[in-house]
Structure 1
């Protein structure tokens, strides 16, 4: 379809792209303020999606660094009123706990979202045999169980 009503990209798509660009380029000192601005957009779903993508990118970058904890504490304050984002941040913290070899609870891992379980089984930085065995045996989907089994095989081949 063409014509004046179909040739132009919807305004929320342009804002979404601009938000992603701005969030990728933002200085760390201004990040929390920009996230708050984005979350103030009238299209809550679009705003949360943009911030969610940004959080996933930043969390993956910072996961194994000392800056991760300060970053998550800052983000937690900014996103506190957004349930999906709060859960995602919590799951990034759980992933870091596993990566760093700190104690974690079985029910947190088995009760985590499909996204978390897939990420934990496909991220090369996760090398906890205990977590991978748990997901191999109790992962929510066959895909997760198979990925956990594959990662365990990879770990065993290295030793």
Structure 2
């Protein structure tokens, strides 16, 4: 989608009956939104009648932003704002909670093993690729799936060999 044909606002995007076109337009707008307008745009995208598509576009945005922000202090305020925007969308709110847990584990801030064990496969697999040996050991022993336990075990074995 060229900048020339890019819809100017969410209202314009909503006029297109093709959810694939709307998804692409939402992802594009979310990828270029100024920080000051992000909360409003996320909230407006989530008004789309195709909730599966809208939440998928927002999820992609949350993952992209969280991946860039989690190591730094700006993450906290951003996560609080996005939690408010997604409060009526349990899957998105849960993903934000998991990003906060991932941040705590990665930065060695306080976290609870039971929270990691109760987390999604997504977070457990992401954690196995990280650097927190305690978290990886917990997942090697009690991760949700055989794949997670094996991945964590292999990661621990490689770390002990190097």
- TM-score, normalising length: structure 2: 0.85
> What's the C-alpha RMSD, in Å, of the aligned pairs?
1.5
Q: Which residue of 2 aligns with 1:115?
A: 122
Q: Distance in 2 between matches of 1:36 and 1:72?
A: 14
Shift of 1:156: 3.2
Deviation at 1:147, TM superposition (A): 1.6
1:57 corresponds to 2:64: yes
Q: How many residues align?
A: 147
1:36 maps to 2:43 = yes
Aligned pair partner of 1:99 in 106, 121, 145: 106
With structure 1 as the length reference, what TM-score do the two structures score?
A: 0.87
Question: Which ranges in structure 2 are unaligned for 5 or more consecutive residues?
Answer: 1-16
Q: In structure 2, what is the equivalent of residue 147 of structure 1?
A: 151
Distance 2:155 2:74 in 1: 27
Aligned-partner SS, 2:81: helix
Q: Judge conservation of contact 1:95–1:120 (CA < 8 Å) in 2.
A: yes
